[in-house]
Structures are given as structure tokens and as C-alpha cells.
Structure 1
Amino acid sequence: MSAIVRPAQAGDIAAVVELLHTHMNARIPRERWARLLDYPWRPEGVERGWLVEDGGHVVGFMGTIYSDRVIGGRSRRFCDLSSWYLLADYRGDGTGDDLLRSGMARPGVTYQTMTARRATGRK
């Protein structure tokens, strides 16, 4: 496998939506998955999430949903890590760790996850 981790771009939306809808949760409509990558308050200059690509196919994704908020009179940037999914063949070899590190690399950003999920079982 020759997977690479890179920022998701506008041209990747359809492939990411298909991955998430097909493999993560088909009960969520494709239109809702698409909003994850193209939400109206997305600050200029930030990525639409991070994806894992192998041979031109999207095999993993982690959403990065940014917001700018005024806290104590100062503007601060927050990022909610969302919809983290990696096809099973790419798990356990460090690809998921690379995806997480890439998604949390911006200095001065407070990272969080607001999605309540059970633990992955990873030890």
C-alpha cells in the first residue's frame, strides 16, 4: 500500500461523501455528509478535512470543522475533529496516526471532538 495523507479539497467532496456514506453510516444522507466539507462558516484558508488516498482512491478521512470565536475579548480558532474513518486494510500500520497528526498540526488552534462515541477498543 502506498497511502498518502493530504488535505481534502473541493474536488474531493464526492469521493469523501461516498466513503463516509457507504462505509461509516449509510443512514446519514449524502447531502449531510457533503455539508461536513463545505459548511457556511468555514474560515478562509483552512482545509476541508484530511484524507488518506491510495492509488487515486479515498480510503480514509477525518473532518476538521473550524470556527472562530471571541473568548475574553480575543478571537480564538477552534477545530472539531469529526467523522474519522479509515478502511480496515489501512488500520494498525500508523496511517491513522498520520491522519490524526496531520489534522491537528495547525499552531494556535484549540482541537476538540464534540461527537459522543464509544471507545475504539485500541490499546
Structure 2
Amino acid sequence: MTDAVELHPITPADARAVAEFLHAELNSRVASADWEAAITPPWSCDQPNHGFLLRTGARIVGVYLAFYSERRIEGRPERFCNLAAWCVLDEYRSYGLRLLNALLAQKGYHFTDLSPSGNVIALNTRLKFSHLDVAMALVPNLPWPLWSWRVRVISEPLEIERTLSGRDLEIYRDHARTAAARHIVVVEDGAACYVIFRRTRRKNLPLFASILYVGNRDLFRNVAKYVFRHLLLRHGIAATLAELRVVGDRPRPSIMLKSPRPKMYRSASLRPDQIDDLYSELTCVAW
């Protein structure tokens, strides 16, 4: 390590090199082109950077991706920074905290870390991150013999556009081109329930769905079986992971997981119930 280790914000010009680094060093299941596409999310927002990187000479030795968004919460604009993929080469691990400190030094943001692992959880705790309640039900996706002229399940993009309105339509348009988010609308008697899910691996098997967003929890309670049936028959997904903070009531039948994966956030003013999984690596990166 003869060259100085320099810290830089990730710019659009760095996207290809950062993508190649993450493909080679973090997750080779995600193609370089997919990493590159994810680095610049499709929603409209002031992006001060795309995270930070460490470089020695022309060589990237560390990366911490970030996704920025602006949301309206209780009528106020709130700015978010989602901490995403963090990867530093072993011989440069001692410099890795520079990446995190650079992100957290940015003023005026609420920070989320929705897939922390290993030592990152304890580190986040020391940095005043709080845990979200991730109580999670595992739901078998069963081929329920359902039929009702009152209920429709919609997954075709143009029909979703025609069906949704208001904030749900904005969310759909912001996430329609993200790599990991998948979209369903269930309509019952003219009322719509918008659901976003992603395909999730457990024990390296891509046989699960994780629900990221439910737009109408009261209606979801009535039509959840239509969603789970659709996931099985249309997508071949055997089971669904449903966080109660996302879906509301525990679906039946299901079992509660003993050790769901943690999610964390840091904010001086927002409550846990005002934090969700949108505008994040969970919607942008299909690992």
C-alpha cells in the first residue's frame, strides 16, 4: 500500500468502475451492468453523490453506495439517505470507516440501513442507529381455490398505471424501472391495494418473496390470499416473508420467525412507523 488512500464521492462518471468493483468483490450474482444501473435510481431527487469510494491511484479499494430520496411525511418534506452496499478490500479495512463517516457527516438527512449484517449491526448501534421492529411471518403460498367477480389481481404495467392514483401512483412510477421491485394491485369492489415485493433468497434458494410495501392494509387483510396465490402460480414463489410493520395483521396461516434479519435507522425526529423499505437497495438491487 504505497499510494495514499483517497476518499471521493461517487459521481456518475464512476458508475462503471464502481459496478465492476462490486461485481468482483461483493456479489458476483449481480452483473456489472445491473450494479451500474442500480447506482443511479430512476426516481427524481437531488443526488449529492451516489455514496463514497476509496481509491489508491486509479484503483478502487472500497465503496459504500447510497440512495437518496425526498419524501413528504405529515405534510413536511424529509430527506433520506439509504446506506446500501458496503465493501472494502481486506488490506484496506482500516480505512473503511472513512466511507461511513463521510455519509453520516451529511447534514439534513434521515439515515436507513435496511440490510446490515455482521459487525455492522454493532457499529450502527454505537453510532446511535435504532432497530426497527422486524417481527416477521413466514406465509406458505398456497393454491387457494379462490374466485370472485368482486376481486381482480393486476400485474400488467399499463393497467397498474390506470388503476392507481395519488401517492401510490407516484410510488409506482418511481419504482417501476427498479431492478428488484415487483408490483401487484388487488382490486376489490373498486378499492385498490397496491403491493410491492421482491424475490428473496434464504439458504441460497430464491424461493421466497419479501413484501416491501402495502398501500391499503385494511384491504390487504381481505385479499392477502389472492396475493400469495398469485406469487405461487405466476412467479413460482413458494413462501412469503411478511413483516408486520409492512402488512399490518399477521396473515393466516403463517409462522413467526425467531430471528428475522435486522433493519436500522437514525433520525432525530422521525418515528419508527414513518420508516419504510422504499427508495432503497431493497428495491434497486436484485441480489
TM-score (norm 1): 0.88
What is the aligned partner in structure 2 of residue 18 from structure 1? 20
For residues 56-89 of structure 1, what are the alpha-carbon distances to aligned partners after superposition, in whole Å with 9 as ceiling and x for unaligned? 1111100110111111110001111011000111
CA pair 116-3 structure 1, distance change in 2 beyond 3 A? closer
Percent identity over paired residues = 31
CA pair 45-25 structure 1, distance change in 2 beyond 3 A? closer
Once residues 21 and 13 of structure 1 are traced to their aligned partners in structure 2, the CA distance between those partners, rounded to angstroms, is 12
**AA partner of residue 115 (structure 1):** S
SS of 2:36's partner is helix
Instruction: State whether residues 8 and 51 of structure 1, in contact with CA within 8 Å, keep that contact through their aligned partners in structure 2.
Output: yes
What is the aligned partner in structure 2 of residue 37 from structure 1? 39
What is the aligned partner in structure 1 of residue 180 from structure 2? none
State the shift of 1:36 in Å.
Answer: 2.8
Give the alignment of 1:1-123 within 5 angstroms.
1=1, 2-41=4-43, 43-92=45-94, 95-119=95-119
Once residues 27 and 121 of structure 1 are traced to their aligned partners in structure 2, the CA distance between those partners, rounded to angstroms, is 24
Instruction: State whether residues 78 and 112 of structure 1, in contact with CA within 8 Å, keep that contact through their aligned partners in structure 2.
Output: yes
**AA partner of residue 26 (structure 2):** M
Aligned residues: 121
Once residues 104 and 119 of structure 2 are traced to their aligned partners in structure 1, the CA distance between those partners, rounded to angstroms, is 20
What is the aligned partner in structure 1 of residue 212 from structure 2? none
Once residues 45 and 83 of structure 1 are traced to their aligned partners in structure 2, the CA distance between those partners, rounded to angstroms, is 17
**AA partner of residue 101 (structure 1):** N
Once residues 111 and 120 of structure 1 are traced to their aligned partners in structure 2, the CA distance between those partners, rounded to angstroms, is 14
CA RMSD, 1 decimal: 2.0
State the shift of 1:122 in Å.
Answer: 7.9
Instruction: State whether residues 63 and 83 of structure 1, in contact with CA within 8 Å, keep that contact through their aligned partners in structure 2.
Output: yes
SS of 1:50's partner is strand
What is the aligned partner in structure 1 of residue 202 from structure 2? none
Once residues 104 and 122 of structure 2 are traced to their aligned partners in structure 1, the CA distance between those partners, rounded to angstroms, is 20
Once residues 90 and 106 of structure 1 are traced to their aligned partners in structure 2, the CA distance between those partners, rounded to angstroms, is 23
SS of 1:91's partner is helix
**AA partner of residue 68 (structure 2):** Y
Instruction: State whether residues 46 and 69 of structure 2, in contact with CA within 8 Å, keep that contact through their aligned partners in structure 1.
Output: no
Instruction: State whether residues 38 and 48 of structure 1, in contact with CA within 8 Å, keep that contact through their aligned partners in structure 2.
Output: yes
User: Structure 1, unaligned stretches of length 5 or more?
Assistant: none
